[in-house]
Amino acid sequence: MTWKALLRELAARPGALIGLSLLTLQLFAILFAPWIAPYSPVEANLLDAMQPPSELHWFGTDEVGMDVFSRVVYATRVNLLIGFVAVFASLLAGVTLGLLVGYYRNILSALVMRVFDFIQAFPVFVLGMALVAVMGQEIWSVAIVLGFLFVPMFARLVRAEVLSLRERPFITAARCSGAGDAAIMFRHILPNAMTPVIVQISIALGMAILLTAGLSFIGAGVRMPSPEWGLMVSSGSQQMILGIWWIALFPGVAIVLSVLSFALVSEATRTLLDPRTHSEAGQNA
């Protein structure tokens, strides 16, 4: 698909444009946070505690006087850093394992799948909470734990595609031409198995952000004073009964918009990569 055709496809789908716009906004916040945020995200000032939104503090201040807008902007870095590291680490490990266990059907492959069954038998949130408690409540610890939890998801997805592809005629032709196992797996099978994986990446990023926020909300994730959306919602939720709504509202909205952006991008990607979409478009044209 050419760039012009891709732009036409995106222009015809408002959801895709909204998702890409929200994603661009987050990337802008990551890159230019020091210039966007008017205050330090970790500097407390008790004299300005619990100030409502105003010209000085656009999103107000929290219970220790930290600027909520600055913390929301900087938290984009933390949440998306954890999400991207977790997803792409699990992608690398999961795709490799899925390719191997799908191609080589032996006792070792069966053992790997039973390990995945064991991991996925636990509620992902509970297992994540336990692993973070063991490894420590640091940003990198949360990213490593989420990456570990997402490996079975990518591995199973790739394995299902490999099992479908390994008996196709073009694979048989590659074997007859003298291609080795490595060439068949990485040159012929893997490129044809990546379409559902590409779609799953956006979904997994949204899941990673939700899990990061959820773990921090219950005190099992990132610790204060690090700016993190779930941690900010947890802190602000204790003040809502007093009518101080802004501390929890704005980071909560940031979580919603971030997850929504990845969901919309995932749906747009699935549509663009679906060959039936292009065949229908060609028939309509």
pTM of the model: 0.86
Q: Closest by alpha carbon to 151, among 106, 109, 90, 212?
A: 90
Tokens 């990546």 correspond to what residue? 194
Residue 144, pLDDT score: 93
CATH topology of domain 21-30+61-275: MetI-like fold (1.10.3720)
How many residues would you count in the chain?
A: 285
Contact 33, 71 (CB under 8 A): no
Give the Cβ contact number of residue 54 at 10 Å.
Answer: 10
Residues near 192 by Cβ (< 8 Å), separated by ≥ 6?
A: 161, 165
Instruction: Determine if the peptide bond prior to 53 is cis (ω within 30°).
Output: no
Domain boundaries, the chain: 21-30+61-275
List average pLDDT for each run of 10 residues in the chain, which is 285 residues long.
58 77 91 91 87 90 91 93 93 93 86 90 89 86 92 92 84 80 84 86 91 89 86 88 89 93 84 58 45
Half-sphere exposure of 105 (CA within 13 A, CB side): 7
Residue 9, pLDDT score: 63
Residue 283, pLDDT score: 46
